A and B are shown apart, each in its own frame.
Chain A
């Protein structure tokens, strides 16, 4: 009998959790990653992972409230049933990670310690030092290594996913390339799980790792997979500008009294300490006397952006403002903020206890991603409920299966049969804005819960009767051949001559990042988005004539980068078009020309599809599952009415 097997692409939290679950069920797993899986971007998550816990429960918290917070935080854009299931599952995930040996911080009695995080009145965030993501991925990496040593998981590290192989309307494998030998070949599988993370690199510099270019998602998109809510990109207000990337600076710096300011006079070149109080513009404090520096995150992001980009008042004429803690006692700062101040010191080389930090908002997370389906669970209220009153009794117990039907074949499946999307690369769960410490949860939940769906799908009658291993080689050969040809054509553009800047992939990539950051991040308008689409068309034309500076057939990174630029252009177009179509403001998406949320027209998923003939993305709007909670204005109890309330975000959401 032919063997059934599964391919997992991506070795971050979602991919590793999927590999563990699927291998445990007895199906062989081939795990592909562009880096050794232990170095995936999940290592960068710091804050923690949310779950209802016994302490919070006894104070009135519940899985239902976690669900409610996540829907509200996402500004009512997420399909609701999957979020309910995720919240119900969360406590089990923490227990499992605990059993795997994650060194969660402990109370004096030896229980798991908890911290308060944005979007909740209860302590529901579990953490391991200041590197929770790193600790979680290491625990899953170790479990995968165990299966690897038993021969149940085969790793293909430094292999890059190029395309899904489709046959008779099913995904039956992938084409991938070894980044060292540059060998390209097809691999067969009865299901393929994409767990390839976000697309920060589309914006040039972001808080993401260098590998988060969205290329794998783009390659599925171009093969016919739909992409949901591409315009929903979370921008974090405080990151450390760097020459290579933007590193996150935790919001706790403002929580501990940090003041945001710029010199009142444009082009003031004095050192910050030489600028008198009267010459400093504490713009958040002046504009928002009630909240000051701790205005909700999206407001802080927009104001800092406005000061620098629109008014040109950034420090030294650049996109940066001061985040100043120097008025506080240095010992106090060390005690309260030691870890994050160390990061700043390490990468900027200045001690924030004595010199104001320079910060600017940065692209941080993509709520949008490959569009997926699911089978709703058993909970079906006659009418959607009103917002849950914090701390009150939950309307239902947290039994498994109320949100999504466990093991249903289509859970987390894209519109391509047999092609699944887990973790950040999926559009599910976070709606228009992700709450802090919910990302790690959604990755592991997908891997474990939807991993079972993959197993059931592969073993279902229609698939197991026609396994990929028994199929004619035609489709696999053709798919591999196509990629080999495209690769050879790209490699053949290599030249020793001083290349034209217009067709230099690095220059195109840089211009793409600059354009997307200017048009598609904090503030969006119809006119600017249209201009952005014109620029993208120009870049696409130039990209068609791209020229490499390295023609080597061995470990050629310039080649890999140039190929990814083409994919980033496809995602960029979907983002810009989604933002143009969504004529409202919701969560991370803010349109100055449409500053309010428009539930009647836009409580809908923006669905991007790729037209292979024209090479263009088109957007349609599809209804969402809002059958459990009625949308309400997202105010976080704010009394102040001079600001558009529907767009407020919780302090502390990451």
Chain B
């Protein structure tokens, strides 16, 4: 976050008064294939309010600003402390977690409007809830695990330098939220799982591939992963827009991961060419 952002946020918070009403404008959709519409709710803001508490307030009394009774808004959430990734949505046009979105910063004045929309690259289940199973599918495709010999007692794992641990830890904080994919021009909505195996996997998968390739036992499957990334939907499909790294809430070095895998894929390509 830049200093200007920080200052602007702080100024907004200072000016925000508890008890004011703000308008939460929500894109609603009753289910797959159903039309979308916007509904606006007036919400009274208490101290510490975030998008979650506003949606909770709406659920208890789902009446629009026009006075029409409607249904509670449906949305996905879990830990509410930005570590599970569930509550991701598009807020005022930008994809992010809704739990860490403070109303005082987004709508500091009486009558300010916040617009909530579901993520754009995943099929909508209902309202703000989307189906992100494609991300988990891609982890299977990339064999994103360490192939251990089983759970019986076989002593410790490999020793690791603090630098290597830090690099892996950073990659391993990915909470599969999908911000990087939603912001990516190359990652497109794919309603049917049939197309997932040939569609662009995106930054999340690249980060995880690098994570497991960086572990000495995980690297046993390195070539399998590189084969997938050489194929359709792999690294060559990356358009280098670098949006992914800008929206990642955990500041994971995604563009570095893509570059690193790009090099590995090239080397793998040469090796395969000369050995086959």
What is the bound-complex CA distance between A131 and B173, given in angstroms?
8
Q: Is B217 an interface position by the 8 A CB rule?
A: yes
For residues 115 through 146 of chain B, which have their beta carbon under 8 Å from a beta carbon of chain A?
A: 125-126, 129, 132-133, 136, 139-140, 143-146
**Inter-chain contact B78/A209, CB cutoff 8 Å:** yes
**Inter-chain contact B102/A103, CB cutoff 8 Å:** no
For residues 456 through 506 of chain A, which have their beta carbon under 8 Å from a beta carbon of chain B?
A: 496-498, 504, 506
Q: Is B246 an interface position by the 8 A CB rule?
A: no
**A146 contacts which chain B residues (CB < 8 A)?**
143, 145, 147
**B140 contacts which chain A residues (CB < 8 A)?**
145, 148-149
What is the bound-complex CA distance between A104 and B161, given in angstroms?
11
**Inter-chain contact B71/A129, CB cutoff 8 Å:** no
What is the bound-complex CA distance between A100 and B212, given in angstroms?
10
Q: Which of B82-90, B253-261, B266-274 contacts A (4 or more CB under 8 A)?
A: B82-90
**Inter-chain contact A100/B148, CB cutoff 8 Å:** yes
Q: Is A639 an interface position by the 8 A CB rule?
A: no
Give the contacting residue for A145; candidates B56, B136, B150; CB below 8 A: B136
Give the contacting residue for A106; candidates B147, B148, B161; CB below 8 A: B161
Q: Chain B nearest CB: distance from A48 CB in Å? A: 14
User: Quick one: which of A108, A242, A504 has the most chain B CB within 10 A?
Assistant: A242
Given contacts A21-B151, A103-B169, A108-B162, contact A349 B9 (CB under 8 A): yes
**Inter-chain contact A555/B148, CB cutoff 8 Å:** no
Given contacts A98-B157, A106-B162, contact A135 B169 (CB under 8 A): yes
**A448 contacts which chain B residues (CB < 8 A)?**
151
Beta-carbon contacts of A127-144 to B below 8 Å, as 1s and 0s? 011010011001100110
Nearest A-chain residue to B85, judged by Cβ: A39
Given contacts A95-B157, A99-B154, A552-B30, contact A131 B79 (CB under 8 A): no
Q: Chain B nearest CB: distance from A38 CB in Å? A: 6
User: Quick one: which of A106, A157, A343 has the most chain B CB within 10 A?
Assistant: A106
**Inter-chain contact A145/B145, CB cutoff 8 Å:** yes
**Inter-chain contact B82/A104, CB cutoff 8 Å:** no
Q: Is A244 an interface position by the 8 A CB rule?
A: yes
**A346 contacts which chain B residues (CB < 8 A)?**
82, 100
**A211 contacts which chain B residues (CB < 8 A)?**
78
What is the bound-complex CA distance between A240 and B270, given in angstroms?
55
Nearest A-chain residue to B208, judged by Cβ: A142
**Inter-chain contact B160/A110, CB cutoff 8 Å:** yes
**B84 contacts which chain A residues (CB < 8 A)?**
35, 38-40, 43-44, 209
Given contacts A106-B161, A210-B77, contact A36 B136 (CB under 8 A): yes
Q: Chain B nearest CB: distance from A409 CB in Å? A: 20
Given contacts A180-B125, A554-B126, contact A41 B78 (CB under 8 A): yes
Q: Is B155 an interface position by the 8 A CB rule?
A: yes
**B169 contacts which chain A residues (CB < 8 A)?**
103, 128-129, 135
For residues 161 through 203 of chain B, which have their beta carbon under 8 Å from a beta carbon of chain A?
A: 161-162, 165, 168-169, 172-173, 175-176
**B132 contacts which chain A residues (CB < 8 A)?**
36
Given contacts A98-B157, A146-B145, A550-B72, contact A24 B151 (CB under 8 A): yes
Given contacts A95-B155, A98-B157, A554-B31, contact A145 B78 (CB under 8 A): no
User: Quick one: which of A142, A343, A510 has the most chain B CB within 10 A?
Assistant: A142
Q: Chain B nearest CB: distance from A485 CB in Å? A: 23
Q: Is B237 an interface position by the 8 A CB rule?
A: no
What is the bound-complex CA distance between A506 and B144, given in angstroms?
40
Beta-carbon contacts of A93-105 to B below 8 Å, as 1s and 0s? 0011011110111
Nearest A-chain residue to B75, judged by Cβ: A557
Nearest B-chain residue to A54, judged by Cβ: B156
Q: Is A436 an interface position by the 8 A CB rule?
A: no
**A614 contacts which chain B residues (CB < 8 A)?**
none
**B168 contacts which chain A residues (CB < 8 A)?**
101, 103
For residues 291 through 349 of chain A, which have their beta carbon under 8 Å from a beta carbon of chain B?
A: 343, 346-349
Q: Is A56 an interface position by the 8 A CB rule?
A: no
**B109 contacts which chain A residues (CB < 8 A)?**
none
Q: Chain A nearest CB: distance from B26 CB in Å? A: 14
The total number of A-B Cβ pairs within 8 Å is: 206
Beta-carbon contacts of A75-117 to B below 8 Å, as 1s and 0s? 0000000000000000010011011110111111111100000
Beta-carbon contacts of B49-88 to A below 8 Å, as 1s and 0s? 1101100100111110000010110110111111111100
Q: Is B110 an interface position by the 8 A CB rule?
A: no
**Inter-chain contact A138/B50, CB cutoff 8 Å:** no
Q: Is B46 an interface position by the 8 A CB rule?
A: yes
**Inter-chain contact B48/A242, CB cutoff 8 Å:** yes
What is the bound-complex CA distance between A36 and B60, given in angstroms?
26
What is the bound-complex CA distance between A347 and B83, given in angstroms?
13
**Inter-chain contact B78/A35, CB cutoff 8 Å:** yes
**B27 contacts which chain A residues (CB < 8 A)?**
none
**B53 contacts which chain A residues (CB < 8 A)?**
242-244
Give the contacting residue for B175; candidates A43, A149, A209, A247; CB below 8 A: A43
**Inter-chain contact A106/B151, CB cutoff 8 Å:** no
Q: Chain B nearest CB: distance from A154 CB in Å? A: 13
For residues 560 through 604 of chain A, which have their beta carbon under 8 Å from a beta carbon of chain B?
A: 561
Q: Chain A nearest CB: distance from B31 CB in Å? A: 5
Q: Is A256 an interface position by the 8 A CB rule?
A: no
**Inter-chain contact A498/B69, CB cutoff 8 Å:** yes
Q: Is B105 an interface position by the 8 A CB rule?
A: yes
Q: Chain B nearest CB: distance from A375 CB in Å? A: 21
Nearest A-chain residue to B168, judged by Cβ: A103
Nearest B-chain residue to A447, judged by Cβ: B151
Give the contacting residue for A243; candidates B50, B63, B86, B212; CB below 8 A: B50
**Inter-chain contact B48/A101, CB cutoff 8 Å:** no
Q: Is B153 an interface position by the 8 A CB rule?
A: yes
Beta-carbon contacts of A237-262 to B below 8 Å, as 1s and 0s? 00001111101000000000000000
What is the bound-complex CA distance between A180 and B129, given in angstroms?
10
User: Quick one: which of B9, B53, B148 has the most chain A CB within 10 A?
Assistant: B148
**Inter-chain contact B160/A106, CB cutoff 8 Å:** yes
Q: Chain A nearest CB: distance from B142 CB in Å? A: 10
Nearest B-chain residue to A448, judged by Cβ: B151
Q: Is A558 an interface position by the 8 A CB rule?
A: yes
Q: Is A627 an interface position by the 8 A CB rule?
A: no
User: Quick one: which of B13, B81, B100, B105 has the most chain A CB within 10 A?
Assistant: B81
What is the bound-complex CA distance between A506 and B31, given in angstroms?
23
Given contacts A36-B132, A244-B52, A245-B81, contact A101 B215 (CB under 8 A): yes
**A558 contacts which chain B residues (CB < 8 A)?**
59, 71-72
**Inter-chain contact B56/A38, CB cutoff 8 Å:** no
**B172 contacts which chain A residues (CB < 8 A)?**
103, 128, 135, 138
**B173 contacts which chain A residues (CB < 8 A)?**
129, 131, 134
Q: Chain A nearest CB: distance from B214 CB in Å? A: 9
**Inter-chain contact A104/B30, CB cutoff 8 Å:** no
Q: Is A549 an interface position by the 8 A CB rule?
A: yes
**Inter-chain contact A143/B145, CB cutoff 8 Å:** yes
Residues of B at the A interface (CB closer than 8 Å) are 9-10, 13, 30-31, 46-50, 52-53, 56, 59-63, 69, 71-72, 74-75, 77-86, 99-100, 102, 104-105, 125-126, 129, 132-133, 136, 139-140, 143-148, 150-151, 153-157, 159-162, 165, 168-169, 172-173, 175-176, 212, 215, 217-218
Top 9 closest pairs, chain A to chain B, by CB:
A243-B53, A98-B157, A506-B60, A110-B159, A142-B145, A555-B126, A101-B146, A550-B71, A99-B157
Residues of A at the B interface (CB closer than 8 Å) are 20-21, 24, 35-36, 38-41, 43-44, 92, 95-96, 98-101, 103-112, 128-129, 131, 134-135, 138-139, 142-143, 145-146, 148-149, 157, 180, 209-211, 241-245, 247, 343, 346-350, 448, 496-498, 504, 506-507, 510, 549-550, 552, 554-558, 561
Question: In the complex, given contacts A100-B146, A243-B46, what are 7 additional A-B residue pairs having Cβ atoms less than 8 angstroms apart?
Answer: A38-B85, A39-B78, A105-B162, A210-B80, A245-B52, A504-B60, A554-B126
